[in-house]
Amino acid sequence: MNPVHRSILLSAIDRYGSLLFFLLSTAVLARLLTPDEFGVCAIVNALTLVLAAAFQEFGGANYLIQRQLLNLASVRTAFTVTFLLSIMVGAGLFFLRGAIAIIFGRDSLRLGIAVSVLNFLVWPFAGTMTALLRRDLQFGVLAACNLAGNLVTAALSMALAALNYSYMAPIWGALAGNVATTLFLFSSRRDVRFFQPSLAEHREVLRFGLYSGAVVIINVFYNFAPQFVLARVMDFAAVGLYSRAVTITQVFDKLVIQVLSPVIMPAVLAQTRAGEGLKHIYLDSIELLTAVHWPFLLVFAIMAEPIISLWLGPAWTDIIPLVRMLCIAYLALFAACLTYPVLVAAGRLRDTLISSLISLPPSLLIIFLAAFFGVKAVAAASLLCLPFQAAVAIYFVSRRLSFGLADLLSAFSKSGIVTALTVAGPIASVVLINRGVVGQVLGLCFGCLLAATGWLFGLAMTDHPLLKQVRLAARSLAFSGPKWFAGEESVAGPERKLPL
């Protein structure tokens, strides 16, 4: 098995194990916490992550991965810059917690923010070690550390919620999980010299971070903007409903995109260094992604009612129409995970910022106006905003890689057929459920079985390239054995070893 396939497999083990904890904890917490309590937790989480994005790109994972030659001075500088910015941002958020509580009209935000800012002490350590493991494609070690941390997060969150810790249960759980992950990462690396302070190469770190950080901050803020607006215009229950709908919709990201995301940047850069054409990489990746992305989201939208009723319980059925609209809107983001790494590999980091500045401000305005009409209107706004953002991003990529609409249509033509064959079964299953012929449990199982059958049939009928990749991975899996998890050698080969 080649290094990229092996990395994807190990990343999948990491993400799917974490997804299992997520599914379990979500089901339990949905029955222990109210939408209002989820809303408070969502705002604390949004504030923390938006500000975390302000420092993580200055010497963070993307800087360390994209750098051609990496030495000890580079890593020490990247960590030092990240750590200093993290402390400053965390301290600022802590001292502003009172003002934030007043702005949102909820005093409970004070305690939530006070606890959440402790994450800023551990993120720089975990981020640096994670980036180095990703650069070397050491996803076996990374999977073990992440799974341990996610287990701690899920277990503590559920236990504290059962003990009536209310909205603080997920906040304490997340902090404990981050600390556990960091400790496990420390135990996996004996050489920690790169944590010694240094500013030797700070100019290069800051130069990269200005563009990359601006892109991430804008996009992260946009992702959480609906929650901020709903908290001001409506109430925290609306925030909780919308936040939960987005989280449910992003299950596909946890199943597929988050499996690939840690691998995409180092893999694309490695292939371009080896002489592969970016146009070929981009279009081939789109063909593979759409064969999974589109069928999953449409099946999820079609079967949203039995899925949410059985998973979250009757208290959350109000999010069913939100999930359906978001799933349809997310269809446009089939190439979103490729835009940043491809433009960075093409030497056009500035284009990622320009693209975001063109597409996101109008989208924010639409969301703000929609919030005055309710949470459903905010979800409906995504049907306009996300396709617009996707079109702008693809336009910038197409300019640099020299491809047109015909190339795109050719890239996902087979995936369209696969998608149509996949959704036929779930539609029939939902009809049977609505007519009372079968119950929700049996109907859901029946629909998923028909969807899987239709998907495989579509791949075979169209001779889709994804089928070849699945067969190749299965064949490699059968012959490689447990040595994948051995940590004695970097899967990236000697030339990828860091001179530390």
pLDDT tens sequence across 195-226: 888 887 777 777 776 766 677 778 778 888 88
* Structural domain includes residue 192: yes
Instruction: Provide the domain count of the chain.
Output: 2
Q: What is the pLDDT of residue 117?
A: 93
**Rounded to whole angstroms, what are the CA distances from 222 to 58, 103, 158, 218, 411?**
20, 19, 29, 6, 29
User: How far apart, in whole angstroms, are the C-alpha atoms of residue 153 and residue 22?
Assistant: 9
pLDDT digits (tens, 9 = 90+) for 80-128: 888 888 899 899 999 999 999 998 888 999 999 999 999 999 988 888 8
Helix-then-strand count for the chain, H and E: 22, 0
Q: Which two tokens stand for residue 297?
A: 């989201």
Residue whose tokens read 């409906």: 380
Residue at a domain's end among 176, 196, 216: 196
Under-50 pLDDT residues of the chain: 265, 274-275, 481-500
* Structural domain includes residue 313: yes
Please classify residue 246 by burial: count the beta carbons closer than 10 Å to its beta carbon, then call 0-12 exposed, 13-18 middle and 19+ buried: buried
User: How far apart, in whole angstroms, are the C-alpha atoms of residue 347 and residue 252?
Assistant: 30
Phi-psi region of 277 (alpha: psi -120 to 50; beta: other; left: phi over 0): beta
- Tell me which residue of 436, 437, 340 sits closest to 396, measured CA to CA: 340
- The DSSP secondary-structure symbol of 254 reads I
Q: What is the pLDDT of residue 266?
A: 54
Cα-based angle 273, 134, 331 (whole degrees, multiple of 5): 85
User: How far apart, in whole angstroms, are the C-alpha atoms of residue 302 and residue 298?
Assistant: 6
pTM to 2 decimal places: 0.72
Q: What is the pLDDT of residue 400?
A: 85
Residue at a domain's end among 155, 174, 196: 196
* Structural domain includes residue 490: no
User: How far apart, in whole angstroms, are the C-alpha atoms of residue 165 and residue 108?
Assistant: 12
* Structural domain includes residue 488: no
User: How far apart, in whole angstroms, are the C-alpha atoms of residue 255 and residue 107?
Assistant: 36
Same structural domain, 399 and 335: yes
Q: Do 265 and 62 touch, CB atoms closer than 8 A?
A: yes
Same structural domain, 225 and 80: no
Q: Do 56 and 123 touch, CB atoms closer than 8 A?
A: yes
Residue whose tokens read 């015909």: 406
User: How far apart, in whole angstroms, are the C-alpha atoms of residue 397 and residue 359?
Assistant: 14
Same structural domain, 69 and 187: yes
Same structural domain, 170 and 228: no
Same structural domain, 32 and 59: yes
Q: How far is CA 440 from the centre of its chain?
A: 29
Q: Which two tokens stand for residue 254?
A: 């946890």
Determine the angle formed by the axes of helices 258-273 and 336-345, rounding to 10 degrees: 20
Same structural domain, 157 and 242: no
**Rounded to whole angstroms, what are the CA distances from 455 to 5, 324, 449, 459, 466?**
22, 20, 10, 6, 11
- Tell me which residue of 85, 319, 92 sits closest to 209, measured CA to CA: 85
Amino acid at 261: S
Q: Do 339 and 352 touch, CB atoms closer than 8 A?
A: yes
Same structural domain, 179 and 243: no
Q: What is the pLDDT of residue 498?
A: 30
User: How far apart, in whole angstroms, are the C-alpha atoms of residue 178 and residue 125?
Assistant: 10
Same structural domain, 183 and 160: yes
* Structural domain includes residue 495: no
Residue-range definition of the domain harbouring residue 24 = 1-196
User: How far apart, in whole angstroms, are the C-alpha atoms of residue 86 and residue 450?
Assistant: 49
* Structural domain includes residue 472: yes
Same structural domain, 214 and 293: yes
**Rounded to whole angstroms, what are the CA distances from 219 to 194, 360, 464, 474?**
29, 8, 33, 36
Q: Which two tokens stand for residue 437?
A: 């012929």
Neighbour-count burial for 277-311, b at 16+ CB within 10 Å, e otherwise: ebbebbbebbbbbbbbbbbbbbbbbbbbbbbbbee
* Structural domain includes residue 28: yes
DSSP 371-385: HTT-HHHHHHHHHHH
Q: Do 381 and 370 touch, CB atoms closer than 8 A?
A: yes
Q: Do 298 and 326 touch, CB atoms closer than 8 A?
A: no
Determine the angle formed by the axes of helices 97-104 and 202-233, rounding to 10 degrees: 30
**Rounded to whole angstroms, what are the CA distances from 26 to 20, 31, 212, 422?**
10, 9, 32, 27
Residue at a domain's end among 175, 196, 217: 196
Same structural domain, 173 and 227: no
Same structural domain, 290 and 257: yes
